[in-house]
Structures are given as structure tokens and as C-alpha cells.
Amino acid sequence: MPHVTFIHGIANKPKEDELRRIWCDSLEQAIEPLSLSNEGVSTSMVYWADLMYGDPITDTSNFESTAANADAAADAAGATSIPAPATPEEAAFLEGMREKLTSRDDEQIAAAPPAAQNAAGGSFERIPLPWFLKKPIMNAFLRDVHHYLFDVNFAPPGRQAVRIQQTIRKRFLDRVNNPGSDGPHIVVSHSMGTVIAYDCLKRVDECKKVDGLITIGSPLGLDEVQDKLQPGWSRLNGYPHERVATRWVNLFDRLDPVCGLDPQLANDYRFSSSKRIEDIQIENDGAWRHSATKYLKQPKFRQALRSMLGL
């Protein structure tokens, strides 16, 4: 039986089983539907939102709505703030990442009239969303990526702190190493989940091989992220050939602010200097292009997944 292991991205999420249902439903509700269950494909979700956020989301309407800004609100769920750096290395990382996302500091944004807050001049400024949505999305992205890559000891209020990278790695290995099937095994990762998937598949010796990897809306093209994936990553030999048996397909939307500044990965993750990743450009609808469900509904995504599963 084929198996798909999903791993989600930034911000708070519904409970694990509910989120997995939403992703599977997105595949079934597309113009060219793909029902994994009807095709005999089992699924699992690498879930880590509970390590960063409080109670899971109970109202899933923003995840399943087509209303304007609903998908952006879903990716902004779980109010947080950019962490205070503990070292000069962390300060440089956060500053570099923030500059990729917006050209304005908080004082400039607060002082600008609403129209100016959406003016061109930075990744988030070119996305026509109000700042009350942009800021929590940016904060969630920076905080979540920072805590994982720097293995911060952290917990939401009222819980016992854990080392974030070490704990998420264990969860990834638990799912990937125990798919419960002997058919093709594909990892589908979104956003921050692509960083986790790559880190484990390239850098964790205990991680077992998978047959294929699909990344959507990935920030793996950013220099700051690549620098923190060393040792292991290099531009000329960064492809995770040790644990990805066949293909890595990367789908991107150039107006997705998380991946849009450097969306193509083939040149940065080569195998013995040769390009191996299949970069595929798509165009999600609406103003907010980062939504996982929009990527999942793309025909090119389903074509890639079908092919990799042997369907």
C-alpha cells in the first residue's frame, strides 16, 4: 500500500487528525480530484503546532473558506512575536530573514497611512493584505523557523519546555520510519515543514529512506536557512540522496512571500554538482498565495503526487 506523510507549516493549526482531513479533502475537492483513500493510499501527519502554540484551532472555517483573506487569517493564527535574539548569530539571522519579508520597520509601518502600508517595496508589501494580517504571519514565520533552526528550549504557557528541533525531529522519524506500508512512501511538506523534512532527510542518520519528496511554498532557497542547515547542506551536494530514493519535486508561486524571493531550489541543492530537483512554477489564486490547500489543489501537484505514488 502506498503512503503519504504530510508535514505542515507555520502558525497554529487544528488538531492533527482534523488538519490531515483538511489536506486530504483539498485533494478531493480539486478540479481534477485525487482521493487518496479511494486509491488505497494511507496518510499520516507530522504535527508540531502544539509545541509552539496553545490550544489547537477549533474553528476550521478559515482553512476551508474561499472568502477574501480567509486563507491568510489561517496562516496568521496563533498570535506571537518575533523572538529576542540571545546571541549575535541569532540577531543576524532574524535581521536577515526580516529584511527578506519586508522593507519597513515597525515604526515606519505604524506611522504610515493604510494605503502606504501596502505599497511596493518588500515581499510582504507587494501582497495586497492589511498589515493586521501581514504582521502576525511574518512574526509566526520568523519565530517558528528561528526556534527550530536554533533548537530553542521553548513551550507555550503552562507547558514544560522542550528542545524544539530535537522534539520535532523525533516526531518526524516516528512517522517516516513507521509508515505502516511497504509501497511507495512520499513526504509532502509545506512552508516551515519543508525545512524540517529536508533537515531530517539530509542530516539525521536514524531517518529511513523515502521514495520521494514534494515541497510546496518552501523557504529553503533563503541564504539564512541554508546557512543553518550546515553541516549537511552545500550548494554543490545538498541534495538528500542518502534518504530520497527517486524524485524531489518543488512547487512554487512567485507571489508566495515565504518562497517568492528565491523559489527555485535545483541550483542550490545539487547532487555531485548536477541539478536533480524538479522546480515547477504554479499560480495560486487570490491575494494570499502561501496557503497549503491552494497548493494541494493545483493540477501539477496532483500530477506529481500520482506519478510518485505509481497511481
pLDDT of 207 > 70? The answer is yes
Q: What is the mean pLDDT of the chain?
A: 92
pLDDT of 79 > 90? The answer is no
Q: How many angstroms separate the CA atoms of 23 and 294, rounded?
A: 10
Q: What is the pTM of this model?
A: 0.94
Over residues 14-68, the pLDDT tens digits come to 999 999 999 999 999 988 899 999 999 999 999 999 999 999 999 998 887 777 7
Over residues 270-308, the pLDDT tens digits come to 999 999 999 999 999 988 999 999 999 999 999 999 999
Grid coordinates of 42: 494511507
Q: Percent of the chain beyond pLDDT 90?
A: 77
pLDDT of residue 181: 85
pLDDT of 112 > 70? The answer is no
pLDDT of residue 113: 53
Over residues 168-187, the pLDDT tens digits come to 999 999 999 999 888 899 99
Residues 141-163 have a mean pLDDT of 96
| Domains of the chain and CATH, by start | 3-64+159-309 (3.40.50.1820), 70-154 (no CATH)
pLDDT of residue 102: 80
